[in-house]
């Protein structure tokens, strides 16, 4: 017990294993410490615009994205208000908390919303989306996630969207907030019209920035709604020009973003994706060895692995214990998954050793709650998995 208390106090920082916020690398912290940054100066415009050009290949889009000072949801709201008008018919995929957020946003902005409701932990198939579209006269846009973070289901949009495109010519809007950096995104090639991402997920900096990329035709068909703060056309004019945001940008976050984008490009985007695929594979191997089932079947994410606690084990208690004793933060389940799952994130700047520590901590927690298994089996399986090669997806 004494030792456990010491362990907690010995850590210099809390350890984050949740799908946002993710660990912030030192280079990003250092960059943020440049406090006297004037945002209407040539030097800053250069850094800001540099972020846009560094983000662009991560979206796979021939248009530059825009950066907004908001959490990810601000980016979702900007997409909704700039791409739809009141009374427009839209389809949303609801497979968890974030799909529900699209639904609520659509309703808040008075769209006619047709919901594709799917069980938590599953991914939608194209037939379901087509069926929803066929119930409407003219569907303006389909809204979905790339990765439903509340369940850990990756929707396989690289096959889903091109398949949908064979019969659907409206807009396709993808909330990729928890997938960018962990899964490939090719907006142009897959004919996606809008992708939203956020700073505190795959980009390894604190919350406060949203990134929104639009296709050429989306830029040409913006809504007629009244807009003010989230006016994407206004932002694009200044940001794509000299690198000037309409309002005061979140200076320190931009400085940090510039630093982590630099690391991502130096590592190579393909290598970043391959790393995430390898981490996810190791996490799955570890949970299999411990005897925990993975929630999403055939929809596994490279960003997070959602494992189901064995029956009789109170998951909330396990996770609370790990927070209190080791300062290790894992996300549990929400709503219908409350107490039942652990969402183990390996998104952003997370190393193999972080993952091994996380698995070891969960093993301690499970053993202490009385779960019978071969302690150490998860760590061993993860290490073995790291010794085998894997390819990016």
Judged by the rule CB under 6 A, the positions of this chain that interact with ligand PLP are 19-20, 71-73, 98, 145, 149, 175, 177-178, 198, 201, 207
Task: Please identify, using beta-carbon distances, which residue of 99 and 315 lies nearer to ligand PLP.
Answer: 99
Provide, rounded to whole angstroms, the least separation between the CB of residue 150 and ligand PLP: 8
Task: Please identify, using beta-carbon distances, which residue of 94 and 149 lies nearer to ligand PLP.
Answer: 149
Q: Could you tell me if 124 and 144 are in contact, meaning their C-beta atoms sit under 8 angstroms apart?
A: yes
Task: Please identify, using beta-carbon distances, which residue of 126 and 207 lies nearer to ligand PLP.
Answer: 207
Q: Could you tell me if 356 and 346 are in contact, meaning their C-beta atoms sit under 8 angstroms apart?
A: no
Axis crossing angle, helix 352-368 with helix 377-386, rounded to the nearest 10: 160
Task: Please identify, using beta-carbon distances, which residue of 97 and 317 lies nearer to ligand PLP.
Answer: 97
Measured distance CA(12)–CA(8) in Å, rounded: 9
Task: Please identify, using beta-carbon distances, which residue of 304 and 355 lies nearer to ligand PLP.
Answer: 304
Measured distance CA(104)–CA(195) in Å, rounded: 18
Provide, rounded to whole angstroms, the least separation between the CB of residue 145 and ligand PLP: 5
Provide, rounded to whole angstroms, the least separation between the CB of residue 98 and ligand PLP: 4
Going by C-alpha positions, the residue among 251, 254, 262, 249 that lies closest to residue 349 is 262
Q: Could you tell me if 260 and 203 are in contact, meaning their C-beta atoms sit under 8 angstroms apart?
A: yes
Task: Please identify, using beta-carbon distances, which residue of 76 and 356 lies nearer to ligand PLP.
Answer: 76
Q: Could you tell me if 346 and 303 are in contact, meaning their C-beta atoms sit under 8 angstroms apart?
A: yes
Provide, rounded to whole angstroms, the least separation between the CB of residue 225 and ligand PLP: 21
Q: Which helix (H) or strand (E) holds 366?
A: helix 352-368
Task: Please identify, using beta-carbon distances, which residue of 75 and 243 lies nearer to ligand PLP.
Answer: 75
In this structure, which long-range contacts are made by residues 367-372, counting pairs with CB atoms below 8 Å and at least 24 apart in sequence? 368/318, 368/321, 369/313, 369/314, 369/317, 369/318, 369/321, 370/312, 370/313, 371/310, 371/313
Handedness of CA 189, 194, 200, 204 (dihedral sign): positive
Provide, rounded to whole angstroms, the least separation between the CB of residue 209 and ligand PLP: 9
Output the six-digit token pair for 6. Answer: 């010491």
Residue corresponding to tokens 């991560």: 58
Task: Please identify, using beta-carbon distances, which residue of 204 and 365 lies nearer to ligand PLP.
Answer: 204
Provide, rounded to whole angstroms, the least separation between the CB of residue 175 and ligand PLP: 5
Q: How many residues does the chain have?
A: 393
| Residue whose Cβ sits closest to ligand PLP | 72
Provide, rounded to whole angstroms, the least separation between the CB of residue 76 and ligand PLP: 6
Provide, rounded to whole angstroms, the least separation between the CB of residue 359 and ligand PLP: 22
Provide, rounded to whole angstroms, the least separation between the CB of residue 96 and ligand PLP: 8
List Cα–Cα distances, 355 to 69, 148, 156, 248, 329, in angstroms.
31, 21, 24, 37, 13
Task: Please identify, using beta-carbon distances, which residue of 213 and 290 lies nearer to ligand PLP.
Answer: 213
């Amino acid at each position: 017990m004494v030792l456990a208390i010491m362990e907690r106090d010995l850590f210099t920082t809390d350890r984050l294993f949740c799908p946002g916020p993710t660990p912030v690398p030192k280079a990003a912290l250092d960059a943020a410490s440049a406090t006297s940054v004037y945002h209407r100066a040539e030097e800053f415009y250069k850094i800001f615009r540099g972020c846009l050009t560094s983000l662009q290949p991560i979206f796979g889009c021939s248009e530059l994205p825009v950066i907004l000072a908001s959490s990810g949801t601000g980016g979702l709201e900007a997409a909704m208000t700039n791409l739809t008008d009141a009374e427009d018919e839209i389809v949303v995929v609801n497979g968890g908390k974030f799909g529900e957020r699209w639904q609520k946003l659509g309703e808040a902005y008075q769209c006619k919303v047709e919901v594709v409701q799917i069980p938590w932990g599953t991914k939608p198939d194209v037939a379901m989306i087509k069926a929803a579209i066929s119930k409407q006269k003219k569907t303006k846009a389909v809204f979905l996630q790339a990765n439903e973070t509340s369940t850990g289901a990756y929707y396989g949009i690289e096959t889903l969207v091109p398949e949908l495109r064979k019969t659907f010519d409206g807009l396709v809007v993808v909330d990729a907030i928890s997938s960018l950096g962990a899964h490939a995104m090719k907006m142009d090639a897959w004919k996606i019209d809008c992708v939203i991402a956020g700073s505190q997920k795959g980009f390894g900096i604190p919350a406060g920035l949203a990134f929104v990329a639009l296709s050429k035709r989306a830029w040409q068909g913006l809504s007629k709604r009244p807009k003010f703060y989230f006016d994407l056309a206004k932002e694009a004019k200044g940001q794509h020009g000299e690198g000037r945001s309409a309002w005061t940008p979140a200076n320190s976050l931009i400085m940090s973003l510039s630093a982590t984008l630099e690391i991502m490009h130096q590592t190579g985007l393909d290598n970043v994706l391959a790393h995430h695929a390898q981490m996810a594979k190791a996490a799955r191997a570890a949970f299999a060895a411990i005897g925990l089932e993975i929630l999403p079947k055939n929809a596994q994410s490279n960003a997070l692995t959602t494992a189901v606690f064995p029956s009789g084990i109170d998951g909330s208690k396990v996770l609370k214990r790990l927070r209190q004793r080791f300062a290790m933060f894992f996300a549990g389940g929400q709503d219908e998954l409350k107490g039942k799952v652990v969402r183990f994130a390996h998104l952003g700047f997370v190393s193999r050793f972080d993952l091994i520590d996380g698995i070891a901590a969960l093993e301690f927690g499970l053993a202490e709650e009385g779960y019978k298994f071969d302690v150490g089996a998860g760590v061993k399986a993860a290490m073995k998995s790291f010794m085998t090669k894997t390819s990016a997806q």
